[in-house]
């Protein structure tokens, strides 16, 4: 395409006087001083214009986390993290899967969670026992809690950031969607200890 365009300019002499019109770039901001003394496009300026057009038309590949039409692998869900964050995700998965009866799956949950690791256990009255959201900024853990569960937990004894996650959780019907950004091992362990309480309450009802 680029070769054909250059050939046409050279064949026509780069002149717009034949039809009484001056040639202009489609976007004046893309190229300045594009006309020579005879009113024609210079070869170098045409190359720049066509190059910009081709670059802007090139599709940008989607992140595996945001591409809803293709389920990513576990490695792809970790691919945007540095070494420390990858270690946190791996440790979170290990701790969550250590509970009896818990299973892990990858599900699409739309914006803002997109592809998310979902942890389920038998007889859970909430939609899932826990979620591990591989958000590019920081991994996030979500623990849905019923009103009855929250009333059974000595919330005042929990670490402040755990309490804040519960109190700031989005309430939908009888479920509080408590969530936390995980930046350190200590934060992870504190949140998993709450998930442990939830798991005990579920087991106690069976």
> C-alpha dihedral over 84, 177, 199, 130, to 10 degrees?
-40
pLDDT at 110: 94
In the numeric block, the tokens 């026992």 are attached to: 129
Q: Angle at CA 87, nearest 5°, toward 81 and 91? A: 130
What phi, psi does 193 have (nearest 5°)?
A: -65, -30
Q: Is the pLDDT of residue 31 over 50?
A: no
Report whether pLDDT(15) > 80.
no
Please compute the mean of the pLDDT values over residues 182-195 and round it to a whole number: 97
CA neighbours within 13 Å on the CB side: how many for 168? 10
What are the tokens at 41?
Answer: 């496009």
pLDDT tens, position by position, 39-85: 455 555 555 655 555 545 555 567 899 999 999 999 999 999 999 99
Neighbouring C-alpha atoms within 13 Å toward the C-beta of 141: 30
Distance CA 70, CA 133 (A): 17
140-170 tens-digit pLDDT? 999 999 999 999 999 999 999 999 999 999 9
pLDDT for the residue 53:
52
Cα 187 to chain centroid distance, Å, stands at 22
Q: Where are the domains of the chain?
A: 2-57, 74-204
**The two structure tokens encoding residue 184:** 């350190």
Sign of the four-CA dihedral 28, 33, 38, 40: negative
Q: Confidence band (pLDDT; 50, 70, 90) for 5?
A: very low
DSSP class of residue 32 equals S
Could you tell me the two tokens for 24?
């202009």
> What is 74-204's CATH number, 3.90.1150, 3.40.720, 3.30.70, 1.20.58?
3.90.1150
């Amino acid at each position: 395409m680029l070769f054909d365009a250059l050939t046409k300019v050279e064949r026509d002499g780069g002149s717009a006087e034949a039809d009484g019109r001056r040639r202009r770039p489609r976007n004046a901001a893309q190229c300045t001083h594009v006309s020579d003394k005879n009113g024609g496009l210079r070869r170098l300026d045409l190359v720049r214009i066509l190059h910009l057009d081709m670059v802007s038309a090139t599709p940008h590949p989607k992140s595996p986390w945001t591409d809803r039409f293709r389920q990513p692998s576990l490695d792809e869900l970790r691919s945007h993290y540095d070494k420390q964050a990858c270690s946190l995700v791996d440790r979170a998965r290990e701790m969550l899967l250590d509970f009896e009866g818990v299973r892990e799956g990858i599900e699409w949950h739309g914006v803002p969670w997109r592809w998310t690791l979902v942890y389920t256990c038998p007889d859970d009255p909430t939609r899932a026992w826990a979620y591990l959201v591989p958000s590019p900024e920081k991994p996030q853990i979500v623990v849905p809690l019923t009103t009855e569960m929250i009333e059974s937990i000595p919330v005042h004894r929990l670490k402040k950031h755990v309490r804040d996650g519960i109190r700031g959780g989005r309430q939908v019907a009888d479920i509080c969607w408590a969530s936390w950004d995980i930046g350190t091992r200590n934060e992870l362990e504190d949140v998993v200890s709450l998930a442990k309480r939830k798991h005990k309450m579920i087991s106690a009802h069976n």
